[in-house]
Structure 1
Amino acid sequence: VNTHVDDVYRATYKRVYERNRRYYNRYPMDVGRVHRIVRYLKENAVEMPSGGVLTPQRFLQLGLGLGSKTGMESLHWLIEGAWVPDGTELSHEFLKNVESMQAFETNPIYYLLHEPIYADREGPMGWSAQRILEEVLPEMPEFNPEGAMTGEKPVYFTGEMVYPWMADGAYPRLTPLKETAHKLAEEKNWGAIYDSSKLRDTPVPCAALVSYEDLYVEREFSEKTAKLLGDKCQLWITNEHQHSGLRDDGYGVLSKLIAMARGDDVTPS
C-alpha cells in the first residue's frame, strides 16, 4: 500500500541478487554450467517444443522459482541435466522442463497486470522492471547475460519481473497481447486501488506470515502495511518459511495464523 512500483523493483532486485549469491554458493559448479548455456543460447536459435525461442533472457527468468523452499534444488537439477549425452545441444527433456517452469503463456494475465497491480493513482508504469534493471546494472553487473561471454562473473537469474521483450517472439502466445501490454504500460490515468483511510487502524483482527527474506514481497513494505492496519494486525516474521510457506506447510501455517488472529497465539511475544 502506498509504495511506488519502482521502489518495489529496486527492493526485489536486491533480494534476487542475494538469492543468486546464495544459490551459487550452494552450487558453485553451476557458475560454469550457466555460462555455457547462456553462451550457447546467444550463438544458436533454440526453438522450444511448443514454439518460441529460448533466449538467454528467457532462460534467466527461471530465477522466478528461487523464492520457494525447493527452488534452488529444482533449478540445480534442471541445469545439471541440460545437455544431450554427447554435449552438443540442449536436450528435449531440458527444454520441456523449462516450459513447464514458465507459465507466462498459460497465464497471460500475469504478464499484462503484474506491474499495473501497483498503479495506485500512479502512472505510467513504463515497464518498471526493465527500467530499474538498467538502473541497477552498474552495481549489479551479474544481471547482464553478456558476462557469460567472458566468464569473469556468475550470471544471475532474474526474479518475479516481466519485460517488454517477452512479447517479441520468446513467448509466441504473448505476441498477440503486445499492443495491449504496451498500452497498459503507458497508461497514466489509474484510479485508487486502496483507500488508506479505510484500512487505517482496522477493527478486524488479522494475522499474516511475512517471510524475512521474501523474494517477491519486500518485508519492509509488508511491515509498513501492517503498521497502517494498526494493533489488530499481528505479524509472524520468520525465516523458517519462504514465500511458499502455505504450499510447504499449509496446515501448520494456517493453524498458527488463525490462533494469532484469535489471540490464542501471542506472536510477536
Structure 2
Amino acid sequence: MTASYRQPGVVLTDRRFTVPLDHDDPAGEKIELYAREVVASGRADQDLPWLVYLQGGPGFGANRFIGKPAWLGRALQDFRVLLLDQRGTGASTPANRQTLPLRGGPAEQAEYLTHFRADSIVRDCEAIRPQVTGGAPWTALGQSFGGFCTVSYLSLAPEGLSAALITGGLPSLDAHADDVYRAAYPRIARKVAAHYARYPQDVERARRIAEHLLAHEVVLPNGYRLTVEAFQSLGNVLGGSEGSHRLHYLLEDAFVPTPQGPALSDAFQEEVQGMLSFAGHPLWALVHESIYGQDERPTNWSAQRIRAEFPQFDAAEALAEGRPLPLTGETMFPWQFETDPALRPLRETAEALAARTGWTPLYDRARLAANEVPVAAAVYHDDMYVDTAHSLRTARAIRGLRTWVTDEFEHDGVRAGGPRVLDRLLAMVRDEV
C-alpha cells in the first residue's frame, strides 16, 4: 500500500519493498526497503523517466528534503525521482544496537552485516526496479559512497542503467583500506592547515579545549565521553563546503565561567554531541572500512594502524611542541566504540568485521572496460574524503566515462551547488557539452 502527499512544488509517495537479505538465497530471510518517490506537482500524471538517488555514507538514509532544494529541483525537471533508503538505513529494516541483538551474538551480527555493502545495494536496486519503472532502465545519481555503489552497478548490472551520474564518489577499484587511509591523512592535514590559516584564532581555542580535556573527564549529556581524540575527530566536518566555518563558530564560545573555574558550556557540549554521536547512523561506524574490503586481507582497523605512520597527528606531542592541535577526518577508530554509548554494545561486532577475511570483489574491471552506459563524474580536486588520484585512475578504467574535475566545490558539491552540478553532469552524459 502506498501513501501520497504534497509539499511545496512536489508530490511524494511512500514506497516499500521486500527483498532477500542474501540475494544468493532468494528463498531465505527477507528485509524491507523504504523509498520516497518524488515528482514535480505539475507533472505527477506524466510518464517520466526515473532517476534513483544513492545516498552517501555508508549508513545514511536518503535526504529528507522539504520541497525541491539542492539538486532535486533540477532533477525534477526531467525525472521522477526515487530517494532510496539503502538497506539498514532510514525507514528500511534498521541495523543498530537495538535491533542487531536479534541476530544473535557478535559473530552472527557481523555475518549479517556482510550483506550491507555496495553489491547488495545494487542487487536491491535491480530487485525493485521492475516494480518502479516497469522494467525500463533508470538513471543513477550516486553521491560519495553512492558513487561507489554506482560503479558497482556498472560492474554487476549495467543493463539496469540508462545513465550514471557520480558526484565525489569514484572509488579505487583495487586499493586496500590501508592504501585509502595512507592517501587520506596528508589530505586531512592540508584541510586542517587551511582551516587554521583561515581562522588563526582557532589555533589557541582548539589548544585550550584539548588541554581542558586532558585535565578533566567530560561526559556529554547523552553519555558520550569527550576525550581529546574524540575532539580531534571533529575535523571530519572540514571536508564540506561550510565545515570550516561551522567548526570556527563551535570553537569561539566553548567556555563559560563557573564557581569551579572555566568549563565547557552546555551549548558547546550539546552541539558537539550532535556532531560526534553515531546514534542516527551506526552502520557508518560498523561497515565503513569494509566498503574497501575486496580480497583475503582483513581491514583490521586500518585508519588506526595507518595513523601511526603519521606521528604529526598525535595530540600530546603537538601540544608539547607548541604546534596547532591536529584534527582527524573521515576515519573510524576502535576507541569510538568505547566513547559513544550508541556504539558500545557493538564493539565486539565491529572487532569481528575488522578481522574478517575473504571479502568478495565489488568491481569488475573487464566489464567496466567494456562499459556502454553513459557515465559522467564530478571529481572534486583535493576532496578530503575520496582521493583524487584514485578517482582519476578509476575514471580511466571505465570506458566512456567523462570527468569534470573542479575545485569550485568541496565533497558536498551536489548539495552546495546542486543545480549547476547536476546540470553539468546531465549535459555530459547527453553529449551536449
Match of 2:290 in 1: 116
Does the Cα contact within 8 Å between 1:147 and 1:154 map onto a contact in 2? no
Partner of 2:410: 242
The AA in structure 2 aligned to 1:246 is V
Q: Secondary structure at the match of 1:210?
A: strand
Aligned to 2:192: 20
What TM-score do the two structures reach when normalised by structure 1?
0.93
CA contact (8 A) 1:12 1:218 kept: yes
- After TM superposition, the runs of 4+ consecutive aligned structure 1 residues lying more than 4 A away are none
Looking at secondary structure, tell me which structure has more helix per residue.
1
Question: Which one scores higher on RCO, CA 8 angstroms, separation ≥ 6?
Answer: 1
Q: 1:245 to 1:57 in 2, by over 3 A?
A: same
Quick one: distance in 2 between partners of 1:116 and 1:161? 12
Q: In the alignment, which residue of structure 1 is the partner of 2:310?
A: 136
- Alpha-carbon distance, 1:32 to partner: 1.1
Amino acid in structure 1 at the alignment position of 2:332: V
* Counterpart secondary structure, 1:123: coil
Superposed, which structure 2 residues align to 1:77-226 within 5 Å? 77-85=249-257, 88-137=262-311, 141=312, 143-147=313-317, 149-150=319-320, 152-168=322-338, 170-226=339-395
**Alpha carbons 2:378, 2:403 under 8 Å: kept:** yes
- Give the C-alpha shift of residue 10 in structure 1: 0.9
Whether 1:255 and 2:427 are equivalent positions in the alignment is no
Secondary structure in 1 aligned to 2:219?
A: coil
How far 1:130 sits from its partner (Å)? 0.3
Greater C-alpha Rg: 2
- What does residue range 14-53 of structure 1 map to in structure 2 within 5 Å? 14-53=186-225
Q: Does 1:76 align with 2:266?
A: no
Equivalent residues of 1:64, 1:160 under 8 A apart: yes
C-alpha separation in 1, matches of 2:219 and 2:274 = 15
**Percent identity at matched positions?**
40
The runs of 5 or more residues in structure 2 that have no matched partner are: 1-172
Contact 1:120 1:192 in 2 (8 A): yes
Greater strand content: 2
User: Deviation per CA, 1:133-174, whole angstroms, max 9, x where unpaired?
Assistant: 01121xxx1x11103542510111100000011112x10110
Offset from partner CA, 1:218-238 (integer Å, 9 cap, x none): 0011111111102x1000000
Task: Identify if the C-alpha distance between structure 1 residues 174 and 210 changes in structure 2 by more than 3 Å, giving closer, same or farther.
Answer: same
The amino acid that maps onto 1:34 is A
Report SS of the residue matched to 2:308: helix
Task: After TM superposition, give the deviation of residue 126 of structure 1 in Å.
Answer: 0.8
Measured on the aligned residues, the alpha-carbon RMSD in Å equals 1.3
1:84 aligned partner, one-letter code: V
Gaps of 5+ in 1: none
CA distance in 2, matches of 1:68, 1:242: 6
Asked if the contact 2:277–2:342 (Cα under 8 Å) also holds between the matched residues in 1, the reply is: no
